[in-house]
Amino acid sequence: MDGQSVPSSEKTKLMSYLDGMLRDDALKGKVILVSGGGTGLGKSMAAYFLTLGAKVVISSRKMDVLDKAAAELKASTNGEVLPLACDIREIEQVHAMLRDAVSHFGQVDIVVNNAAANFISPTERLSANAFHTILDIVLKGTANMTLAVGKYWIEAKLPGVFLNIVTTYAFTGSAYVVPSAAAKAGVLAMTRSLAVEWAKYKIRCNAIAPGPFPTEGAWARLLPGDLATKFDPANKVPLGRVGEHQELANLAAYLVSDFSAYMTGEIITLDGGEWLKGAGQFNGFDAVPGQLWDQMQAIRGKKQ
Ligand code: COA
């Protein structure tokens, strides 16, 4: 079709970051396991994968939450969803989940390691058990999923894709979330290491490092009471807003789809410029008013 024959109303229809990005059926026939898929960003990614034709396994520890989420996802997308309870800290439970997923859908093609846990706290207030709890869920849990599914793919000679959800403070570190930062840094290292080691098995490993994306659970837990207004995360974002779930789902869908077949070992930041704003030495100069810049320019002018 040449440009002339496209109706002008079509030509001017603007795409938005709130829209789904990939074409219909981009994930048709794929079976995707999303840990922590019953709530928050995991559920949003699962919903978009279903819209694109995937079959999805959602897992978390709480069956009642999963059942409710599965019913909602089925109703909103008409897709096939299998809810499976699993504590990813326990390797036997991960094996059982994988067995159930394969016996229900025939195979698993993609894993999104999304399940996480976090305590926001001065580190000296954390017990060793509290610290280990976060390491166990985030790092050991992701390792359990990676070992179980990776070995299954290698043995069955199936290609596979891991997508790990990390965070920008996996590479910067962050005060007050030290166990999470340490665990996510481990997941990041695992992503890059296995991207190389398992490429020969046609297994790709990528990660997304999201900035602030509001979710009901994490937001209320990490920023209780009026903390959310006092420390409004949007204020720290150069682009001036928090992320929308569809934006993350778009990137996730691309990274698990065959459209990204040449990409592995990549950690993609999706944070509106948030972490870089904290990093650049003079980034605080946003606060300098125009008048002061004029004065500085005038002083410079005199010297020249
Ligand atoms: N801050 C600091 N320490 C905490 C804590 C908090 N908010 N909540 C629990 N702990 C400590 C406990 O006191 C305990 O340590 P102790 O035995 O030395 O007293 C340790 O952490 C384990 O607590 P427990 O409640 O037994 O852990 P759990 O395995 O039952 O549950 C979570 C831990 C993280 C799974 C649970 O809090 C949870 O479901 N959180 C929601 C998920 C989440 O955090 N998502 C984050 C998205 S960013």
Domain extent, residue 243, equals 23-299
Q: Is the Cβ atom of 124 under 6 angstroms away from ligand 1?
A: no
Q: Ligand 1 pocket: which of 120, 133, 138, 180 to mutate (most atoms <8 Å of CB)?
A: 133
In three state form, how does the secondary structure of 142-155 look? HHHHHHHHHHHHHH
Q: Is 117 in the pocket of ligand 1 (CB under 6 A)?
A: yes
Number of structural domains in the chain? 1
The answer, yes or no, to whether any atom of ligand 1 lies below 6 A from the CB of 218, is: yes
Examine the pLDDT at 205 and tell me if it is beyond 90: yes
Q: 279 in a domain, yes or no?
A: yes
Report the amino acid identity of residue 276.
Answer: L
Quick check: is 16 in a domain? no
Report if residue 222 sits inside a domain: yes
What pLDDT, on the 0 to 100 scale, is given for residue 8?
56
Q: Which protein residue has the closest C-alpha to ligand 1 atom 5? A: 119
Per-residue pLDDT of 78-89, as tens digits, reads 999 999 999 999
Q: What pLDDT does 3 receive?
A: 41
Please check whether residue 4 lies inside any domain of the structure.
no
Please tell me the predicted confidence (pLDDT) of residue 230.
Answer: 77
* pLDDT at res. 75: 98
DSSP state, 14?
P
From the list 48, 169, 201, 254, the catalytic residue is: 169
Residue 139: closest CA among 175, 189, 97: 189
Model confidence at 193: pLDDT above 70: yes
Q: What mean pLDDT comes out for the span 255-264?
A: 98
Going from the Cα of 177 to the center of ligand 1, the distance in angstroms, rounded, reads: 13
Task: Let me know if residue 255 belongs to a domain.
Answer: yes
State in Å, rounded, how far the first CA of the chain is from the last one. 60
Tell me the C-alpha distance between 176 and 162, whole Å. Answer: 28
* Residue reference for tokens 């005038």: 298
Give the distance, in angstroms, between the CA of residue 145 and the centroid of all CA atoms in the same chain: 16
Q: Is 122's C-beta closer than 6 angstroms to any atom of ligand 1?
A: no
Residue 1 falls inside a structural domain: no
| Residue 208's CATH number | 3.40.50.720
Q: Which residues pair with 163 in a beta bridge?
A: 112, 206
Scan for tokens 């978390």, then name that residue: 60
Domain assignment present for 171: yes
What is the share, in percent, of the chain residues with pLDDT greater than 90? 87
Annotation says 262 is catalytic: no
